[in-house]
């Protein structure tokens, strides 16, 4: 009996070009994953820069708001004190001249206008607080 020479199996379970295609696909997948990671890193960096920018803007805005409130308070107090000084001068002059009825009318005007100013101020404050609540709640 004649023996046939050992031959190489040409029908290998995995041909070389199939293995090469698999390796090429894996290298492409790795490249895509690295690009995705780079994009994710860039997105995170952009989010960080944006949040840093908005935080700085909020800090500046709060500082400006506190400064504005302080200026408004000082201006309103100067108006109040100058009004009190003017009323004091008018009352002293009326007492000097002997016009007591004029003083009673001034007291009535001051009382009613003071009540109106307090009511208007509290109304404005409540409206401002409602607006702040509306801005905070989406």
Span 42-62, mean pLDDT?
93
Name residues whose C-beta falls within 8 Å of residue 95's C-beta, 6 or more positions apart in sequence. 103
DSSP state of 6: P
Name residues whose C-beta falls within 8 Å of residue 87's C-beta, 6 or more positions apart in sequence. 106, 110
| Rounded-to-integer distance, Cα 30 and Cα 41, Å | 16
Q: Where are the domains of the chain?
A: 18-97, 99-138
Residue 84: is its pLDDT beyond 60? Answer: yes
100-138 tens-digit pLDDT: 888 889 889 989 998 999 999 999 999 988 888 887 775
Span 76-94, mean pLDDT?
91
3-class SS of residue 13? coil
pLDDT at position 12, please?
A: 57
């Amino acid at each position: 009996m004649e023996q046939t020479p050992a031959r190489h199996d040409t029908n290998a379970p995995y041909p070389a070009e199939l293995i090469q295609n698999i390796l090429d696909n894996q290298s492409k997948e790795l490249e895509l994953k690295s690009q995705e990671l780079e994009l994710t890193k860039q997105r995170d960096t952009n989010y960080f820069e944006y949040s840093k920018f908005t935080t700085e803007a909020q800090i500046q805005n709060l500082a400006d708001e506190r400064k504005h409130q302080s200026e408004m308070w000082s201006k309103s107090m100067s108006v109040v004190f100058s009004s009190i000084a003017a009323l004091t001068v008018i009352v002293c002059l009326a007492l000097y001249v002997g016009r007591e009825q004029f003083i009673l009318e001034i007291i009535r005007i001051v009382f009613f206008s003071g009540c109106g100013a307090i009511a208007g101020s509290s109304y404005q404050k409540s409206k401002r607080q409602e607006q702040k609540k509306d801005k905070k709640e989406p």
